[in-house]
Amino acid sequence: MNERTAPPQSEDRESTEPPHCACCADAIDPSEWYPIRCRPDDDDEFQIHAFCSEACCDRWEQSEITDETERQ
Ligand SMILES: [Zn+2]
Please state, in angstroms and rounded to a whole number, the distance separating the CA atoms of residues 50 and 22: 6
Q: Residue 48 CA to chain centroid, in angstroms?
A: 6
Q: What are the structural domain ranges in the chain?
A: 18-71
68 CA distance to ligand 1 centroid (A)? 21
Residue 59 has pLDDT above 90, yes or no: yes
Higher pLDDT, 30 or 72: 30
- Ligand 1 center–CA 43 separation, angstroms: 25
Give residue 68's pLDDT band: very low, low, confident or very high (50, 70, 90).
Answer: low
Q: What is the pLDDT of residue 64?
A: 80
pLDDT for the residue numbered 44: 92
Q: What percent of the chain has pLDDT over 90?
A: 53
Q: What pTM value is reported for the model?
A: 0.64
